[in-house]
Structure 1
Amino acid sequence: MRGDKALILDQVRKYHEDVADTRPFEPGVTEIWPSGATLDAGDRAALVEAALDLRIAAGTSSRTFETRFAKILKRRKAHLTNSGSSANLLALTALTSPTLGDRRLRPGDEVVTVAAGFPTTVNPIIQNGLVPVFVDVELRTYNTTADRVAQAIGPKTRAIMIAHALGNPFEAAEIAELARAHDLYFVEDNCDAVGTTYQGRVTGTFGDLTTVSFYPAHHLTMGEGGCVLTSDLRLARIVESLRDWGRDCWCEPGKNNTCFKRFDYRMGTLPHGYDHKYIFSHVGYNLKATDLQAALGLSQLARLDEFTAARKRNWRRLREGLDGLPHLLLPEPTPGSDPSWFGFVLTVRPDAPFTRAELVTHLEDRKIGTRRLFAGNLTRQPAYTDQPHRVVGDLTNSDLITEHTFWIGVYPALTDEMLDYVIGTIKEFVAARG
């Protein structure tokens, strides 16, 4: 590293410490956010170093991150994207590729998913002209079950696409086996669950494709960003093409003739020798990330174990502190799992002497941030009212979640003092309404 760059980065780290908020926690005054990025001086320096090098497109940091992250999630290939939502879009769209032949998904095919979740797990199904088949979830784990998914599989079902709920895994091994038995594709939305294990196996390793988000609320952040991972090299190639404008060429930016026959292709009705850099085999997008994002991601990746441990510790402190409290349904990990939690879910029992709204107002008034369990029952959202879909079974729990459920934070920046204040505030509210 040149001396002037090293000097600048030293100053950046010093600047980070100078501007850090070191004010002590003040109950009822200091905001306790439900989620947020945990950033240090190394993160700030990583961003500045990438900027100093003018790494403004995908490059060295992007490739390095993809390699390291694929190894952590035990997948052969990882492709960075500009968001987790884009990762979901790419993963599902890849399954519609003509290169898959008879196994490709076609308009009208069905994809099993859950009703209670975040829209971007479901949107790619609709955006590709496919039909979501909604199933309900369990209370306490807030995940569906393999039995529910099995009941939803019909003659038009071609795929399953489900997200792990707030870091708590669904029955991924059993659902993966269902997919194999019925010759279905399985897309595992791992956006909220990096670091989680199920039956001793890291989540993100069960699906044909898995997705991750690096939005600031998630386990690792790039500001914005996401990733699609797979061990199926054919699917990886399709994802890369769709992400990179739909082109057939796989050369890295700034590289030429990786295949050694750039001017020797004959595809479609193009003339022989048409430049492979400008042959397009998919109707694609431009959903790439930048090296600025990847530089931050690499800095964050070094702290993944630390972040995972903090999330588990914070969730456990809340769970133990609120144990036995009446009128509230407390969360439980899925049997056989060790979650890296995204949030701590609370459901106000329908027969409680207070409402979810009253408890949320009490918390928000005391600077304790809350969030709904995303969209609740998606079939009740205005965007989905007129969209073709199928429902299997009832959605009783999804409706209950829509009315009575919310979550609070467990992310690494929360201190024991903050968590104890949250516990005390909830206990105070419940006791007062006994």
Structure 2
Amino acid sequence: MIDREDLIRNIREFHAQSADRPFVPGVTEIQSSGACLDADDKTALAEAALDMRIAAGGLAHKFETSLARKIGTRKARLTNSGSSANLLAITALTAPELGDARLRPGDEVITCAAGFPTTVNPILQNGLEPVFIDIDEHTYNASPELIGAAIGPKTRAVALAHTLGNPFPVAEIAEICSDHGMFLIEDNCDAVGSTYRSRRTGTFGDLSTVSFYPAHHVTTGEGGCVLTDNLVLARIVKSLRDWGRDCWCEPGESNRCGRRFGFELGSLPYGYDHKYIYSHIGYNLKATDLQAALGLSQLAKLDDFCAARRHNWLRLREKLDGIDYLRLPEPTPGSDPSWFGFAMTVMSDAPFDRFGIVNFLESRRIATRGLFAGNLLRHPAYSNISHRVSGDLTVSDHVADRTFWVGVYPGITDEMIDYMVASIREFVAGFRRSPARPLESSIEEKR
């Protein structure tokens, strides 16, 4: 007979034999992001697989509870991706249960032009109108001033991401939303573990979202989550995720509430099976216990992952300080970011462009990425959408043309960081600054 414990022991031994290869500068790729998986992660997945945990169940519920406790919210609803989490969060705000506060087609939602598409797409998918604002050139985030200037008579919500793990001034923006009776949705996908004013991001908004894609702080392979303190919104999100059904019993549970055949809703006959009564136009966006098993193992290491990201970002920042032609990133005042990446912007007076330095780094096996969409409105998919722009998008355009970032995820070592720094400095050193051409001090001076 094959012993289960022997199988698990063999998995751990197999992991130990597949040790990481030594870093070879210029040969080993330094990825911009990636999952950090250890023997505990492998055995967690294996044990769930041995138990055939192939649908959402007890482990999914345990992961939701553990994540909500870790972030600091009352409820968490696990889903199949961060993009689905954003869709569920925005859609929940259109639910009839919210009465006059609900979002309706044509209502405006303020968001950034410089960001990731799936922060914005649910706004469009729900018939709402995005109001695009610019970002700060140092933090790559929205500011309270830009939010305040964008509010119009139809503005009902704000949906923003904490860019590259750097919190936007979320306390101030939450206060603006409260004063104007607007919802706030925090896209926290890049910033799990970040804090603003010593409080975790993801706890300020009416709803917040997380991604568990391998690039992010904690991974389940694919996966995401919606978090909230609002029990009504938590129930709406669960219904939307689970086909839109009214029943709150978990799949596979027969009659947890004791009233399965005791409801009369809509024009259905009394006693119609509550498990098949639908109160929302929903989806099937559930995750599985296999994913949750990995998530629980990963969540136990979140603090260490965040510490490594902070360490790598700070090492890059200190060793690149004072470099010519590149604007280096700044944390938002009052924040302690759990960084997703290290952004750099090629200054307007530089004798090289982003294409030049990015290709140099890529030739050195140093992976780079643009700052997501740059300016979404310059992409074909958004060329004909109904929208409004508040102010101008000067910095967003600058980001689209001149900004890139490199990785700081926990799989990057000090040796890799130092090689990245040396490569960047070597490239920049090939261009000598003319005394007659002073450093560009600020985009704001050009406005």
Judge same fold: TM > 0.5, yes or no: yes
- Match of 1:348? 346
2:43 pairs with 1:15: no
Distance 2:151 2:4 in 1: 58
Q: Distance in 1 between matches of 2:319 and 2:231?
A: 47
Alpha-carbon distance between aligned partners in 1 of 2:57 and 2:328, rounded to the nearest angstrom:
45
The alignment's C-alpha RMSD in Å is: 0.9
**1:185 equivalent in structure 2:** 183
Uncovered stretches (5+) of structure 1, i.e. residues with no partner: none
For residues 256 and 95 of structure 2, the distance between their equivalents in structure 1, rounded to whole angstroms, comes to: 23
Query: What does residue 363 of structure 1 align with?
Result: 361
| Mapped partners of 1:144, 1:254: distance in 2 | 44
> Post-superposition shift, 1:90?
0.1
C-alpha displacement of 1:158: 0.8
Post-superposition, which runs of at least 4 consecutive aligned residues in structure 1 deviate over 3 A?
Answer: none
Partner SS, residue 166 of structure 1: helix
Residues 29-54 of structure 1 show CA distances to partners (whole Å, capped at 9, x for unaligned) of: 00000000011011111111100000
1:220 and 2:249 aligned: no
For the residues of structure 2 that align with 1:67 and 1:6, how far apart are their CA atoms?
Answer: 28
Distance 1:95 1:258 in 2: 27
The residue identity in structure 2 corresponding to 1:199 is: R
- Residue in 2 that maps onto 1:375: 373
Find the aligned partners of 2:65 and 2:376 in 1 and give their Cα distance.
35
Aligned residue for 1:121, secondary structure, equals helix
Number of matched pairs: 432
Task: Tell me the equivalent position of 1:139.
Answer: 137
Partners in 1 of 2:44 and 2:338 — Cα distance? 25
Q: Match for residue 171 of structure 1?
A: 169
In 2: Cα distance, 1:51 partner to 1:31 partner: 32
The Cα of 1:140 is off from its aligned counterpart by 1.5
3-state SS in 1 of match to 2:238: helix
**1:6 matched to 2:19:** no
Aligned-partner residue type, residue 10 of structure 1: R
Q: Is it true that 1:77 corresponds to 2:64 in the alignment?
A: no
Alignment of 1:150-299 (within 5 A): 150-299=148-297
CA separation in 1, counterparts of 2:131 and 2:242?
Answer: 30
Q: Which amino acid aligns with 2:239?
A: S
Code of the aligned partner of 1:369: A
Determine if the alignment matches structure 1 residue 310 to structure 2 residue 308: yes
Question: CA shift at 1:252, angstroms?
Answer: 1.2
Deviations 1:321-376 (CA, angstroms, capped at 9, x unpaired): 10000100000000000000000000000110111100000000010000000000
1:166-185 Cα distance to aligned partner (Å, 9 max, x none): 00000100010011100111
* Alignment-mate amino acid for residue 62 of structure 1: A
Distance 1:203 1:234 in 2: 21
- Partner Cα distance (1:433, 1:43) in 2: 46
Partner of 2:440: none
How far apart, in 2, do the equivalents of 1:208 and 1:26 lie?
47
Q: Whole-Å Cα distance in 2 between the matches of residues 326 and 44 of structure 1?
A: 45
Matches within 5 A, 1:37-186: 37-186=35-184
Amino acid at match of 2:37: L
Q: Deviations over 1:271-323 (max 9, x none)?
A: 11110000000000000000010000000011001000000000000000100
Report the alpha carbon displacement of residue 3 of structure 1 after superposing the two structures with TM.
8.3
Secondary structure of 2:163's aligned partner: coil
Q: Distance in 1 between matches of 2:373 and 2:412?
A: 25
Matched AA of 1:6: E
Question: Does the residue aligned with 1:313 lie in a helix, a strand or coil?
Answer: helix
> Matches of residues 320-335 of structure 1 in structure 2 within 5 Å?
320-335=318-333
Q: Distance in 1 between matches of 2:16 and 2:367?
A: 26
Question: What is the DSSP-based 3-state SS (H/G/I as helix, E as strand, rest coil) of the residue aligned with 1:29?
Answer: coil
Distance (whole Å) between structure 1 residues aligned to residue 259 and residue 42 of structure 2: 42
Q: Distance in 1 between matches of 2:69 and 2:25?
A: 42
Alignment partners' CA distance in 1, 2:10 and 2:228: 40
SS in 1 for 2:165: coil
TM-score, L = length of structure 1: 0.99
Q: Which residue of 2 aligns with 1:407?
A: 405
Q: 2:443 maps to what in 1?
A: none
Q: Decide which moves more: 4-13 or 223-232.
A: 4-13
* Counterpart Cα distance in 1 of 2:318 and 2:97: 52
Aligned mates of 1:29, 1:328 — CA distance in 2: 26
Cα displacement (A) at 1:253: 2.0
Rounded to whole Å, the distance in 2 between the matches of 1:290 and 1:216 is 16
Q: Deviations over 1:149-169 (max 9, x none)?
A: 011111101111000000000
Distance 1:3 1:208 in 2: 50
Residues 213-249 of structure 1: per-residue CA shift (max 9 Å, x gap): 0000000000000000001000000000000000000
Q: Which amino acid aligns with 1:425?
A: S
Q: Secondary structure at the match of 2:3?
A: helix
Task: Report deviation, 1:7.
Answer: 1.0
